[in-house]
């Protein structure tokens, strides 16, 4: 019982800290940098694995945090991690990207958000490393390409479940959909994806589920 109680206490402490951080950000917008630093890597990785383009991923991630910064005053704490909210914004930005014929992100220079978004030292090295890793993993690249042929509703649940290792409950929270709906979308989406990759026997179901 003691380990469970310790874990429950840890979760409660994390929630309390996050709730206090949100209160602080609403009073002092510059404190949003703490949220950015905490969640940028996870959000960028999610967007990059969805899009496969470093430049597009950086644009969409920047837009995601800009939207989060602009809307943080409307965020209401309901014992749901702020990461779920940011993942939802990122997912919406990805869907918006695909709906638009030409994506035009908000100009950061027109806002008072001063974070490390436009350029960071070493970014070209990071870009080269990530794109090289993506190219070398041919199976993932194939799956990602085929995934983009599915409807967005299937893309997002599959990416969150297998790329980001989110639970059904977490995906339900991020997308604001019932858990039963998430399970149904996953089942139908995976069936459609398997049809698309059936001409590539090297990519098995077991291989896919490892991503």
> DSSP for 8-36?
HHHHHHHHHHHHHHHHHHHH-GGGHHHHH
Q: What mean pLDDT do residues 47-76 have?
A: 92
* Cβ neighbours, 10 Å, residue 89: 19
- 72 vs 106, which has greater pLDDT? 72
The count of domains in the chain is 2
Q: Are residues 46 and 82 in the same domain?
A: yes
Same domain (yes/no): 19, 64: yes
Place of tokens 């960028």: 44
Judge if 120 and 142 occupy the same domain.
Answer: no
Q: Does 106 share its domain with 10?
A: yes
The more confidently predicted of residues 99 and 208 is: 99
Do residue 76 and residue 148 come from a single domain? no
Measure the CA–CA gap between 88 and 171, rounded to whole angstroms. Answer: 9
**125 with 72, same domain?**
yes
pLDDT digits (tens, 9 = 90+) for 79-118: 888 999 999 999 999 999 988 855 444 444 444 444 434 3
Residue ranges making up the domain that contains 197 = 137-211
What is the DSSP-derived secondary structure letter of residue 161?
Answer: I
Question: How far from 88 is each of 13, 46, 47, 84, CA to CA, in Å?
Answer: 24, 11, 11, 6
Q: Which among 39-43, 74-78, 117-121, 124-128 has the top mean pLDDT?
A: 39-43
Say if residue 40's pLDDT is above 80: yes
pLDDT of residue 54 exceeding 80: yes
> Based on the domain organization, do 32 and 95 belong to the same domain?
yes
pLDDT at residue 134 tops 80: no
Q: Which two tokens stand for residue 135?
A: 């190219």
Percentage of the residues of the chain whose pLDDT score is greater than 90 = 45
124 and 189 part of one domain: no
- Tens-digit pLDDT profile for residues 160-207: 999 899 999 999 999 999 999 999 999 999 999 989 888 766 655 445
Which of residues 97, 130, 163 is at a domain's end?
Answer: 130
Instruction: Considering only residues 22 and 87, tell me which one the structure prediction assigns the higher pLDDT.
Output: 87
Q: What long-range pairs does 196-205 form, CB within 8 A, spacing at least 24?
A: 196/146, 196/149, 196/150, 197/142, 197/143, 197/146, 200/142, 202/139, 203/139, 203/142, 203/143
pLDDT at 114 (0 to 100):
42
pLDDT computed for residue 143 by the predictor: 84
Last residue of a domain, one of 79, 103, 130: 130
We report the CATH number of the domain holding residue 208 as 1.10.10.10
**pTM, rounded to two decimals:** 0.76
Same domain, 100 and 23: yes
């Amino acid at each position: 019982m003691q380990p469970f109680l310790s874990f429950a206490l840890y979760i409660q402490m994390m929630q309390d800290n996050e709730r206090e951080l949100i209160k602080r950000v609403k009073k002092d917008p510059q404190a949003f940098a703490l949220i950015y630093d905490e969640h940028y890597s996870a959000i960028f990785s999610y967007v990059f694995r969805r899009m496969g383009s470093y430049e597009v991923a950086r644009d969409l991630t920047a837009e995601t945090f800009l939207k989060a910064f602009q809307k943080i005053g409307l965020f209401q704490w309901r014992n749901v991690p702020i990461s779920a909210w940011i993942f939802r914004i990122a997912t919406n930005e990805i869907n918006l990207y695909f709906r638009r014929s030409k994506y035009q992100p908000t100009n950061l220079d027109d806002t008072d958000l001063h974070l490390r978004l436009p350029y960071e030292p070493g970014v070209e090295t990071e870009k080269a490393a990530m794109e090289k890793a993506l190219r070398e993993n041919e199976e993932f690249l194939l799956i990602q390409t085929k995934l983009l042929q599915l409807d967005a509703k299937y893309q997002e649940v599959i990416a969150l479940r297998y790329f980001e290792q989110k639970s059904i409950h977490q995906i339900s929270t991020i997308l604001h959909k019932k858990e039963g709906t998430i399970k149904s979308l996953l089942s139908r989406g995976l069936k459609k994806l398997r049809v698309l990759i059936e001409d590539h026997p090297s990519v098995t179901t077991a291989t896919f589920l490892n991503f």
